[in-house]
Chain A
Amino acid sequence: MTIHTDTTGAVPAQRGTDRTRRPSQAQRFADSGGILNVFSHGFLALWALMIIVPLFWIVLGSFKTNAQIGSSAWTWPGNWHFDAFARAWDKGIGGFFANTVIVLAGSLTLTMLLGAMAAYVLARYEFPGNRVIYYFFVAGAMFPVYLALVPLFFMVKNLGQISPLLGLNSYLGLILVYTAYSLPFTVFFLYAFFRSLPTAVHEAAMIDGCSHTRAFFQVMVPMAKSGLISVFIFNVLGQWNQYLLPVTLMQQQNSSDPDHSMLAQGLMNLALQSGYASDFPGLFAGMTIAMLPVLVVYLSFQRQVQAGLTSATLK
């Protein structure tokens, strides 16, 4: 991932200089650009519509009546009230958000900390078993989570016997599971990143009498900031969209247990509920409510997200 900028950059350029230039090149240049421009705008606009229209349609749906939703997709809302939103909110969407934020705050912090620590040691220190541990981690990235689901369920249940704070339907339990399953990718990615960093600064710090731990936190982590941000974004998206793990591990263990549903899980439940209550507007309103904060957060941070992903490819 480190090479595009330097090595390959030279190749086409060379190829270019070897050729003889034709007189009409300026003309053709503009032509092909013009056609491509129309063509690309057309496609891009089409895809943008394909994304905006369904989402907008859902928002409109929250203002329709049940009958309208059932009749034709083209009806314009006839019920400009927020009652559907009130019904949806009563089903606890706020709570699902809070649960998700709590778990992700914990799991992302832990994932980044533990992942960076492990990747750093594996990337920068020679010791027996180094390779084995590295491949051990990398192997985990290749297999889908559900393969381990059956025993994992009982593992978490048993952890709950040590302390209810760790067991099924507990924040901490899910945080640990999310972290463990995010480690392979995190280690894999950061390993490459730490390897690509120059060694000189670190060595200088060590000579100055800096301890290994301090060198990591005060020298290497700031240097690796861009890589850490990219992995962080990958992990946010990955954990945000988890469904199978919470559905298996975050179920109320007793009817008086608090509902710790993650957002995806809670919304899916809401969808099922609206099915039996015949409340399509309520369902669409629920989806709209769930979409809005994400939209706001995303729009505020989209520059950082794109910059973060850029650094993933740039280094």
Chain B
Amino acid sequence: MGSATEYNRRDIFKRAAAVTVLAAGSSSLLAACAAGGGGGSGTKGAAPSGSGSATNPFGVKANDPLDVVIFKGGYGDDYAKAFEEMYKKTYSGANVSHLGTQDISPKLQPRFNAGNPPDVVDDSGAQAMRLDVLEKADQLTDLSVLLDAPYLDDPSQKVRDVLLPGTIDQGTIDGKVYSLNYVYTVYGLWYSNKLFKEKGWTPPKTWDDFLALCATIKASGVAPFCHQGKYPYYANYLIMDLVAKQGGADLVKRIDALDPTAFDDPAVLAGVSAFFQIMQKDYLLPGTNGMTHTESQTAWCQGKAAFIPCGSWLENEMIKVTPADFDMAFLPVPSLAGDKMPQNAVRAGAGEPFIVPAKAKNQAGGLEFLRIMLTKEASGKFAAAANSLTVLKDGIGPDVVLKPGTKSSAQAVTAAGGNTFNYTYPDLQTAFETEMENATTDLVNSRITPQQWVARVKAATSKKV
């Protein structure tokens, strides 16, 4: 980022002016910002005095330090540093400390236990703290005050009005919103368009086509399918997508509600059995069942396997090892006969939960940080730095150039129209999710049958942390 003093000087003038009007115009500066690496578009001026005013709805004290912890995974943490600069532009006296880590739970849970949590946490990754556990321990701030606060770019709107549908549901526990899932994530299968063109393979639309193609792929010496076996939740993306498409949106809701009868629905067994065909027909990359996400995704990038299930962070996460001409592409999970959802339906929605701990010393600052994150400027910076979309409606200008994988997943979402769905149980039902992952590990190793998988997961619906 450019020189901080320059921002500050400009800021002073802006504060003197009618800030809210200026703030609304900030989105037009997005282009300059995305192209020039964030040079000189400080517009988020707000009078830092007083509490609960229109411009400072949470009563942030300008000099209070802000402690930000970011999950440094697929999206990196450079975007968050840019947000922190934005925060400092408004609250110039604030000392913003930043920690980017992969080790969220081991690093932060002790701080929560000690009553000394940070002010904002991006609680993601394999080591994420469990939201349901935190909620039960009264460790989370109810974000409804944020949702009802005026939107920074256009104070006539509330924050909740500018979010993509489903965002709020994704962070709701027992009727209250505790997390802001910031990144619009699309889940499904991924492949290399280059490899497919080279070999003359057509991305399949139905599961039968998928299996037929897998046979062709295997014959050509490439493993048809690999997954991140050490972390079985990736395989669950595929399994549960098959189930959702077969059973419809209503089934998704029942599963999220841990309704045991949901697993009596034949759609569940149909989806799991379809997935199990991969094992029965021996389409797995050898060794994939024990591989970490890095190992398997690297193997996939090297063309050892054709398909991999993942979320849309994949492209950015693997950017360093992906060959330049790889041409990453997204494939909605192929459809089964009798599916209730159309073929182009995709699991998509808000991911990457950001929370404000209830015992945060600068809770107001934490909320304000989230509000700043939702501006067009911030959303654009995120797209540029992390190569992904945010939950902000029309979050990026046309000038932001997306990489092929993200572009293809965005197109899939557009094609799906209203036919997107998402599960909340992975974030909110720790015990159930863990048990389902254990069952899936056994399933991919053919140690249990699809029937046994369904029985085990059904039994797990009674499990709560």
Contact = CB atoms under 8 A, between A and B. Distances in A.
Q: Do chains A and B touch in the complex (CB under 8 A)?
A: yes
Interface of A: 66-67, 70-71, 153-154, 157, 168, 247-248, 251-256, 269, 272-280
Contact of A255 (B67, B74, B293, B295): B67
B118 A255 contact: yes
B110 A70 contact: no
Contact of A275 (B106, B110, B292, B304): B292
Contacts of A274: 294
A69 to B, nearest CB: 8
Interface string B323-364: 000000000000000000000000000000000000000000
B388 interface: no
B67 A254 contact: yes
B196 to A, nearest CB: 20
Interface string B94-115: 0101110111001110110110
Interface residues of B, number: 38
Interface of B: 65, 67-69, 72-74, 95, 97-99, 101-103, 106-108, 110-111, 113-114, 116, 118, 125, 127, 292-295, 297-299, 302, 304, 317-318, 320-321
How would you classify the secondary structure of chain A's contact residues: helix, strand, loop or mixed? helix
A247 B106 contact: yes
Contacts of B127: 272
Contacts of B320: 277-279
Contact of B298 (A247, A255, A278): A278
B99 A278 contact: no
18 contacts: A66-B298, A66-B321, A70-B295, A70-B299, A154-B113, A168-B110, A168-B114, A247-B106, A251-B107, A254-B118, A273-B72, A275-B293, A276-B317, A278-B294, A278-B318, A278-B320, A278-B321, A279-B320
Contacts of B114: 153-154, 157, 168, 253
B76 to A, nearest CB: 9
Nearest to B67: A255
A120 B74 CA distance: 57
B42 to A, nearest CB: 23
A66 B321 CA distance: 8
Contacts of A252: 99, 107
A256 B110 CA distance: 16
Given A70-B298, A255-B67, A256-B65, 12 more contacts: A70-B295, A251-B108, A252-B99, A253-B114, A255-B97, A255-B98, A269-B101, A272-B103, A273-B72, A275-B292, A278-B294, A279-B320
B69 A256 contact: no
User: Which 10 A-B residue pairs are closest in the complex by CB-CB distance?
Assistant: A256-B97, A255-B99, A255-B97, A272-B102, A278-B321, A276-B73, A275-B294, A157-B114, A255-B67, A70-B298
Residue of A153, A247, A254 most packed against chain B (CB within 10 A):
A254
Contacts of A247: 106
A254 B72 contact: no
Nearest to A153: B110
Contacts of A254: 67, 97, 116, 118
B302 A70 contact: yes
A152 B304 CA distance: 49
B192 to A, nearest CB: 15
B298 A248 contact: no
Nearest to B99: A255
A277 B101 CA distance: 12
Contacts of A70: 295, 298-299, 302, 304
Contacts of B116: 253-254
Contacts of A277: 320
B103 A269 contact: yes
B68 A248 contact: no
B111 A251 contact: yes
A255 B68 contact: yes
Residue of A71, A157, A251 most packed against chain B (CB within 10 A):
A251
A277 B320 CA distance: 8
A255 B294 contact: no
Contacts of A153: 110, 113-114
A262 to B, nearest CB: 13
Contact of A71 (B294, B302, B321): B302
B315 to A, nearest CB: 12
